[in-house]
Copies of this chain bind each other. A is one copy, B any other.
Amino acid sequence: MSAPRFRRAALIGIGLIGSSLARVLRRDSPDTTIVACARTAETLAAARRLEIADETTDDPAAAVDGADLVVVATPLSAYAEIGRRIAPALRPGAIVTDVGSVKAAAVRALAPHVPPEVAFVPGHPVAGTEHSGPESGFAELFRDRWCILTPLPQTPPAALAAIAGLWEDAGMRIATMAAEHHDKVLAVTSHLPHLIAYTIVGTATDLGHDLQSEVVAYSAGGFRDFTRIAASDPVMWRDIFLSNREAVLELLQRFSEDLTALQRAIRRGDGDILYDWFVRTRAIRRSIIEAKQA
């Protein structure tokens, strides 16, 4: 067994992503001490019961004390407060990374708190399920998915390589890009689809009670996929929409224009517009299958 990549890893937030990473470290790097930090005693007890942490604390500063790796894995709205609290306790030479879904906002909230002698590597392992909490994690969550890293100009290359290695060990493929570009890409691939799914499931729940129970019973069609997406963590997603506001709103505008065009085609009975549109969308699915993401 080679020396562990990190000796002491502080996981601030031990939900789906944090606990999955803890499981990877447990499996592949038994000499790494895992410190789990969470707000509630209940979550910390779960982490101990699941044996995915060697130490637990509700104090972010205590968690990062002596750690050479700090992974911020909470909802985005907690970042600034966490940054403020861990700043004085960070060890020189430590690496801070995060797993947030909006990178510009993550950088804005955390970077000002990271001292010059500590490296900051903003990251986003693009993986997840509709489940949340430490019980829902599993080590294979990251396998064959992309991890997007958005290093800052001052991020040391060695720190970037170390975090890339961490996620590669978890089975991920690594991409590097600017934070703002990441946020535009994810607005399309993830944020807008989630907003739409949340909307449509909400629309359905507003139907009369009789119809609603039938909607539930016969939800075999596309609606079932939407309900799965719309069951994702409410706090995490509230924070994503508020943090990536500009990109999401711009995309929503395009989406609404397109939906209006299809609505008009339906109202006018213009089947050709619908057919041409549907043929075009089929092609992008093929591209994705060819890109081995499906």
Contacts and interface: CB of A to CB of B under 8 A. Distances in A.
A127 interface: yes
A153 interface: no
A54 interface: no
A231 to B, nearest CB: 4
Contacts of A222: 189-190, 193-194, 197, 229
A221 to B, nearest CB: 3
A200 B196 contact: yes
Say how many copies of this protein the assembly contains.
2
Contacts of A193: 200, 221-223, 225-226
Interface string A37-79: 0000000000000000000000000000000000000000100
A192 interface: yes
A202 B242 contact: no
Given A200-B193, A206-B254, A228-B285, A186 B221 contact: yes
Nearest to A124: B218
Nearest to A213: B287
Nearest to A190: B221
Contact of A192 (B190, B200, B241, B288): B200
B205 A280 contact: yes
Given A188-B204, A203-B254, A217-B146, A245 B267 contact: yes
Interface in A250-294: 251-252, 254-256, 258-259, 262-263, 266-267, 269, 271, 274-275, 277-288, 291, 293-294
Contacts of A286: 231
Main SS class of interface, A: helix
Given A193-B225, A204-B188, A254-B203, A230 B274 contact: no
A89 interface: no
B197 A238 contact: no
Contact of A242 (B127, B226, B248, B274): B274
Contacts of A186: 218, 221
B278 A238 contact: yes
Contacts of A283: 205
10 contacts: A148-B218, A189-B204, A199-B259, A205-B281, A217-B293, A224-B293, A227-B285, A230-B278, A230-B284, A242-B266
Nearest first, the 8 A-B pairs at minimum CB distance are A190-B221, A193-B222, A234-B278, A231-B285, A230-B281, A201-B281, A189-B223, A227-B285
